[in-house]
Amino acid sequence: MARLVACPQCGSTHRSVAEQTRFTCDYCQNLVVVDRRIRVEEFVVPARVDVAQARAWAQRWLEAQGVVRPQVVTQTPTQVPYWHVSSGGGEEATLPAVELDSTLLRRLSLPALPVVARDQTRGAFDQLPVPTVTREEAEATALASFRETDPSVVGMRLVWIPVVPLRARANGDEIQGFFLCGTDKVMFEPIPASARCRPGEPTRLMTYASFAVLALVMGMSVAGFWPRALGEGGLVALALVAWTAWDRRPGSGS
């Protein structure tokens, strides 16, 4: 693994391979001792965890996706640590620093967040989850994901992001999601088509069907041209109701 190392005397940049622990600067002949460990910067998001805001954002997001009257429930907020690794070629990788069950959180791209250094928070963030993925593991995973020919790691950050887990119910379906505090970012699992079905449609169909049946009964029980026309109209209305109900059935693609 190669790294970019600056000479502390003249500031010139050199490319150091993994086996090197020291080398002589080509410009000033200074002996440079290579520190193989990159300094890890630790940051936190100083955002207030507001579960009411998380619920409101989730409600609006789901409604914008076509989900009607979703019932959103917030769960216990948590801090999720992420490794943020930068390469010498300008590439970046975001990796969870703990084992996560959620695919949404595992694939999270670190958004632009208002962060502050952890050592400047006066102990307000002392009780943070300890990373279980080591820096060496994160560095190796990031290097494998970079597309450069000979990638090198030039920066590593550890960022704790406050997250509010969400659970939404719509038309009997349950959808899991998350709200990232300090942003307006809401993430949910793929929404099933049945959750987008409007509950008002079955009600309207039942109303149309009732009128159609009433018209049909009146047309069959009362003699005369207009009652017969009303009965025939009732038959047509029933056919339209049946066709609409079949077209709106789950899995029909509408």
pLDDT at 252: 41
Q: What whole-number distance in Å separates Cα of residue 235 and Cα of residue 220? A: 11
Q: Contact, 124 vs 48, CB < 8 A?
A: no
69-99 pLDDT, tens per residue? Answer: 889 999 999 999 999 998 888 888 899 999 9
Residue whose tokens read 């190669």: 2
Q: What percent of the chain is predicted at pLDDT more than 70?
A: 69
- The CA distance from 145 to 237, in Å, is 61
Q: Which of 31-40, 76-85, 158-167, 188-197 has the lowest mean pLDDT?
A: 31-40
Say how far apart CA 207 and CA 213 lie, in whole Å: 10
pLDDT tens-digit series, residues 113-166: 778 888 777 666 678 889 999 988 998 999 899 988 888 888 888 999 899 999
Is pLDDT larger for residue 196 or for residue 91? 91
What pLDDT band is residue 18 in, cutting at 50, 70 and 90?
A: low
pLDDT digits (tens, 9 = 90+) for 207-236: 666 666 666 666 666 666 666 676 666 666
pLDDT tens digits for 48-59? 888 898 999 999
Range 32-46 average pLDDT = 76
**Mean pLDDT, residues 152-181:** 89
Q: Where are the domains of the chain?
A: 3-33, 40-196, 200-247
Per-residue confidence (pLDDT) for residue 250, from 0 to 100 = 43
What is the DSSP-derived secondary structure letter of residue 19? T
